[in-house]
Protein backbone atom coordinates (compact mmCIF):
# COMPACT_ATOMS: atom_id res chain seq x y z
CA UNK A 1 0.00 0.00 0.00
CA UNK A 2 1.29 3.44 -0.86
CA UNK A 3 2.04 6.08 1.73
CA UNK A 4 -0.61 8.38 0.31
CA UNK A 5 -3.24 5.68 0.82
CA UNK A 6 -2.07 5.12 4.38
CA UNK A 7 -2.15 8.84 5.17
CA UNK A 8 -5.83 8.92 4.20
CA UNK A 9 -6.69 6.42 6.95
CA UNK A 10 -7.38 7.28 10.57
CA UNK A 11 -5.37 6.02 13.56
CA UNK A 12 -7.60 3.00 14.26
CA UNK A 13 -7.45 1.85 10.64
CA UNK A 14 -3.67 2.24 10.64
CA UNK A 15 -3.35 0.14 13.79
CA UNK A 16 -5.46 -2.55 12.17
CA UNK A 17 -3.32 -2.37 9.02
CA UNK A 18 -0.10 -2.78 11.05
CA UNK A 19 -1.62 -5.76 12.84
CA UNK A 20 -2.59 -7.42 9.55
CA UNK A 21 0.85 -6.77 8.07
CA UNK A 22 2.54 -8.30 11.11
CA UNK A 23 0.40 -11.43 10.77
CA UNK A 24 1.20 -11.65 7.07
CA UNK A 25 4.91 -11.26 7.79
CA UNK A 26 4.74 -13.99 10.42
CA UNK A 27 3.05 -16.34 7.96
CA UNK A 28 5.71 -15.62 5.34
CA UNK A 29 8.45 -16.35 7.88
CA UNK A 30 6.83 -19.68 8.71
CA UNK A 31 6.58 -20.54 5.02
CA UNK A 32 10.26 -19.74 4.59
CA UNK A 33 11.17 -21.91 7.56
CA UNK A 34 9.26 -24.88 6.14
CA UNK A 35 10.70 -24.37 2.63
CA UNK A 36 7.30 -23.45 1.17
CA UNK A 37 8.04 -19.84 0.23
CA UNK A 38 8.84 -19.43 -3.44
CA UNK A 39 9.12 -15.63 -3.65
CA UNK A 40 11.50 -14.41 -0.95
CA UNK A 41 11.05 -10.78 -1.97
CA UNK A 42 7.65 -10.83 -0.26
CA UNK A 43 9.44 -10.79 3.10
CA UNK A 44 11.23 -7.58 2.22
CA UNK A 45 8.06 -5.99 0.86
CA UNK A 46 6.02 -6.76 3.97
CA UNK A 47 8.80 -5.61 6.28
CA UNK A 48 8.97 -2.28 4.48
CA UNK A 49 5.19 -1.96 4.42
CA UNK A 50 5.13 -2.48 8.19
CA UNK A 51 7.76 0.23 8.66
CA UNK A 52 5.87 2.60 6.36
CA UNK A 53 2.59 2.06 8.21
CA UNK A 54 4.21 2.43 11.64
CA UNK A 55 5.93 5.66 10.59
CA UNK A 56 2.68 7.22 9.40
CA UNK A 57 0.88 5.96 12.51
CA UNK A 58 3.47 7.64 14.73
CA UNK A 59 3.21 10.87 12.73
CA UNK A 60 -0.56 10.90 13.15
CA UNK A 61 -0.39 10.12 16.87
CA UNK A 62 2.13 12.91 17.49
CA UNK A 63 0.13 15.29 15.34
CA UNK A 64 -3.07 14.65 17.27
CA UNK A 65 -1.27 15.04 20.62
CA UNK A 66 -0.30 18.63 19.83
pLDDT score recorded for residue 66: 66
pLDDT score recorded for residue 1: 80
User: What architecture (CATH level 2) is domain 3-61?
Assistant: Orthogonal Bundle (1.10)
pLDDT in tens, the chain (66 residues): 889 999 999 999 999 999 999 999 999 999 999 999 999 999 999 999 999 999 999 999 998 776
- pTM, two decimal places: 0.90
Give the DSSP letter of residue 38. Answer: S
pLDDT score recorded for residue 63: 84
Domain ranges for the chain: 3-61
pLDDT score recorded for residue 64: 78
How far is residue 17 from each of residues 49, 50, 51, 58, 63, measured CA to CA in Å? 10, 8, 11, 13, 19
Amino acid sequence: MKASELRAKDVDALQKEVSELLKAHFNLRMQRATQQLSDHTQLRKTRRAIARAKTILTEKQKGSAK
